[in-house]
């Protein structure tokens, strides 16, 4: 049989088999496609969880979410938050102005990792270097700042650890001013999500720090170099204000993120994610959930009266009770109607009353649970209305208030 005859014979056999096949067999071959069309859509993969996290309301230090918040973990470049805090404390103590020139050493210039490519002998202002520490997380700038403020990196690290103890950061130990991985035989920097959130709260007291950490990009070296912020939440999360990212091979990807919406400001620390997107996604989920579930209630403002106290035997018949400061509480939205704001003031006081004299407290509670309190004082002076007041009523009327 020739090759052509064999091919023709094969076609005939296949055609015959197709014709002879039962109708059900042909339909059975179509079922997988139909099943695929009717199947439920594939579920997206579950979000990757951080090694640890901690979310806190910045103004009230109210814990909103936590997982292994006291677990020690390398903070990587979030170490630089302490470097900047120490520098700004010196600036505000008028010991080192931001305009002060800083000369770059060979050690600083040779620092690896993320950098602004400082060269030995160059001079920058302290403020320029601090912006480089916060915006692009420059390791070389952190070393230059440390050497300038303390004389050496080692002396500055001693200051970092002393400040950590003073702030109550009990599980934080610094070895570097920038969080770079340790060399052979060296120990790593260590901290916790809770400690990092507390440190962030201190740093947020300085507007310069929030200004730098909230800057998406900025020029450096007279505009010849552009710094880009490592915190991509600034352009991806509504209300994001800062603060600092961190990454090394051992630590994974981490961020101390800050954000404000309305009267609620948050600090969210996430540690040890395998990728940068997973890190920012985790921070986004945690802060988004906190903003959805919680709100700030401002129970008192300084100088605004919360009640009137009758004065017995005074030139005035009453005095107003005013708070000594602002009182904020952060509560779940579902609990807001359960709050009781209670001025605890006397029914009557006897003259004389001095301006700013203590009158009691304003307490915010939810049931029997006290959520916060602030002192109340007299808003004005009230003199005694003795027999001299009958002789010289005009003098009493002119008493300074």
Question: Is residue 190 packed enough to be buried (19+ CB in 10 Å), middle (13-18) or exposed (0-12)?
Answer: middle
Instruction: Flag whether 3 is in a domain.
Output: no
Instruction: Flag whether 28 is in a domain.
Output: no
Identify the three-state secondary structure at position 175. Answer: coil
Quick one: tokens of 369? Answer: 């649970």
> 58 and 149: one domain?
yes
- What's the domain count of the chain? 2
* β-bridge partners, 114: none
Helix locations, 167-316, DSSP H: 193-203, 207-213, 276-293
Whether 258 contacts 51, CB under 8 Å: no
> 346 and 237: one domain?
no
Identify the three-state secondary structure at position 93. Answer: coil
Rg (CA), the chain: 33
Instruction: Flag whether 24 is in a domain.
Output: no
Instruction: Flag whether 47 is in a domain.
Output: no
State the pLDDT at residue 37: 55
> 291 and 306: one domain?
no
Residue whose entry in the numeric block shows the structure tokens 């962030």: 200
> 250 and 282: one domain?
yes
State the pLDDT at residue 11: 40
Choosing from 295, 310, 331, the residue where a domain stops is: 295
State the pLDDT at residue 2: 46
Domain that holds residue 165: 52-295
CA 218 to CA 129: how far, in whole Å?
Answer: 12
> 349 and 271: one domain?
no
Peptide bond into 243 cis (omega under 30): yes
pTM, 2 dp: 0.84
Choosing from 250, 277, 295, the residue where a domain stops is: 295
Peptide bond into 146 cis (omega under 30): no
> 316 and 290: one domain?
no
Question: 139-150 vs 80-92: helix axis angle to the nearest 10?
Answer: 40
State the pLDDT at residue 47: 77
Instruction: Flag whether 116 is in a domain.
Output: yes
Instruction: Flag whether 9 is in a domain.
Output: no
> 308 and 270: one domain?
no
State the pLDDT at residue 20: 41
Instruction: Flag whether 306 is in a domain.
Output: yes
CA 37 to CA 223: how far, in whole Å?
Answer: 57
* Biggest alpha carbon–alpha carbon distance for the chain: 145
> 64 and 172: one domain?
yes
State the pLDDT at residue 41: 59
| Cβ contacts of 375 within 8 Å, gap of 6 or more | 323, 324, 325, 358, 360, 361, 362
CA 109 to CA 102: how far, in whole Å?
Answer: 13
Helix locations, 151-192, DSSP H: 153-166
- Smallest CA-to-CA distance from 269 within 249, 250, 254 is with 254
Q: CATH no. for residue 318?
A: 2.60.410.10
Quick one: tokens of 374? Answer: 């602030």
Instruction: Flag whether 56 is in a domain.
Output: yes
Q: CATH no. for residue 72?
A: 3.40.710.10
- Tell me which H or E stretch contains 320: strand 318-323
> 213 and 97: one domain?
yes
Choosing from 248, 277, 295, the residue where a domain stops is: 295
CA 382 to CA 401: how far, in whole Å?
Answer: 8
> 203 and 247: one domain?
yes
> 330 and 366: one domain?
yes
Residue 144 CA to its chain's centroid (Å): 26
> 289 and 309: one domain?
no
pLDDT in tens, the chain (401 residues): 444 444 444 443 334 433 344 444 444 444 555 455 555 555 666 778 999 999 999 999 999 999 999 999 999 999 999 999 999 999 999 999 999 999 999 999 999 999 999 999 999 999 999 999 999 999 999 999 999 999 999 999 999 999 999 999 999 999 999 999 998 999 999 999 999 999 999 999 999 999 999 999 999 999 999 999 999 999 999 999 999 999 999 999 999 999 999 999 999 999 999 999 999 999 999 999 999 999 999 999 999 999 999 999 999 999 999 999 999 999 999 999 999 999 999 999 999 999 999 999 999 999 999 999 999 999 999 999 975 554 544 444 444 33
State the pLDDT at residue 10: 43
Quick one: tokens of 234? Answer: 């600034």
State the pLDDT at residue 40: 55
Q: How many CB atoms lie within 10 A of CB 200?
A: 25
Q: How many CB atoms lie within 10 A of CB 234?
A: 18
CA 398 to CA 34: how far, in whole Å?
Answer: 94
């Amino acid at each position: 049989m020739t090759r052509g005859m064999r091919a023709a014979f094969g076609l005939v056999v296949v055609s015959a088999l197709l014709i002879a096949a039962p109708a059900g067999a042909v339909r059975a071959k179509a079922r997988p496609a139909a099943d695929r069309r009717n199947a439920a859509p594939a579920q997206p993969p579950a979000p990757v969880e951080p090694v640890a996290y901690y979310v806190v309301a910045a103004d009230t230090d109210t814990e909103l979410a936590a997982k292994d918040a006291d677990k020690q973990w390398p903070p990587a470049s979030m170490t630089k938050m302490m470097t900047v805090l120490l520098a700004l404390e010196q600036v505000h103590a008028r010991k080192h102005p931001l305009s002060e020139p800083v000369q770059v050493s060979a050690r600083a210039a040779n620092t690896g990792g993320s950098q602004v490519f400082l060269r030995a002998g160059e001079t920058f202002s302290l403020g320029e270097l601090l912006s480089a520490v916060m915006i692009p997380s420059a390791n070389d700038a952190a070393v230059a700042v440390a050497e300038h403020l303390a004389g050496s990196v080692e002396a500055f690290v001693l200051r970092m650890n002393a400040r950590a103890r003073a702030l109550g950061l009990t599980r934080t130990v610094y070895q570097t001013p920038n969080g770079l991985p340790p060399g052979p035989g060296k120990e790593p920097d260590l901290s916790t999500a809770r400690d990092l959130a507390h440190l962030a709260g201190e740093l947020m007291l300085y507007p310069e720090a929030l200004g730098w950490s909230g800057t998406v990009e900025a020029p450096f070296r007279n505009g010849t170099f552009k710094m880009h912020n490592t915190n991509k939440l600034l352009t991806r999360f509504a209300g994001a204000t800062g603060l600092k990212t961190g990454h090394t091979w051992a630590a994974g990807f981490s961020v101390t993120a800050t954000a404000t919406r309305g009267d609620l400001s948050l600090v969210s620390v996430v540690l040890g994610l395998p990728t940068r997107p997973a890190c920012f996604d985790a921070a986004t989920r945690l802060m988004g959930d906190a903003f959805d579930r919680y709100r700030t209630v401002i129970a008192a403002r300084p100088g605004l009266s919360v009640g009137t106290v009758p004065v017995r035997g005074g030139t005035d018949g009453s005095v107003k009770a005013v708070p000594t400061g602002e009182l904020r509480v952060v509560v779940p939205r579902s609990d807001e109607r359960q709050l009781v704001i209670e001025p605890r003031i006397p029914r009557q006081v006897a003259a004389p009353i001095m301006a700013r004299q203590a009158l009691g407290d304003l307490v915010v509670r939810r049931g029997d649970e006290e959520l916060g309190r602030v002192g109340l004082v007299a808003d004005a002076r009230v003199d005694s209305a003795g027999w001299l007041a009958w002789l010289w009523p005009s003098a009493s009327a002119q008493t300074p208030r």
